[in-house]
Amino acid sequence: MDNLYRREYIFQDQPNNGWVSWKGEQKMLTPGIDIDVKLRSGRLIYFRSPDCIGGNWIHDGSGRDIVAYRIYPKAAELEGLDNSEVPF
């Protein structure tokens, strides 16, 4: 498998491996993107649309609060890579 498909390589050149801190402010993510999120509990949720994650965007102090997210590059940005295998 081409290493460029693996999550750790997709984000390797971005500051903090692509993670953006989230403090509960208004959600400003565009529909149609895919993201990973880190929850306060330490759990990671991979490759979802922001709307599929639901109410976790509102901080209530629970372990379900989102504390960081990172956005996947669009398919066009990965154009030319062999996509014959599932990347994750």
Domain hosting residue 74, numbered range? 3-78
Give, as one character, the DSSP assignment of residue 30: P
Q: Which amino acid, one-letter code, is at 75?
A: A
The token pair that represents 86 in the structure block = 């599932």
pTM of the model: 0.71
- Asked if residue 84 is part of any domain, the answer here is no
Per-residue pLDDT of 36-48, as tens digits, reads 999 999 999 988 8
- Supply 71's token pair: 């956005």
Question: Is 85 a domain residue?
Answer: no
Look at residue 26 and tell me if it is in a domain.
Answer: yes
Counting the structural domains of the chain, the total is 1
pLDDT number for residue 80: 53
pLDDT at 5: 56
Q: Is the pLDDT of residue 20 over 50?
A: yes
Residue 63 belongs to some domain of the structure: yes
Residue 86 lies in a domain: no
Within a domain: 38: yes
- What's the whole-number average pLDDT of the chain? 78
Task: Determine the pLDDT at residue 86.
Answer: 46
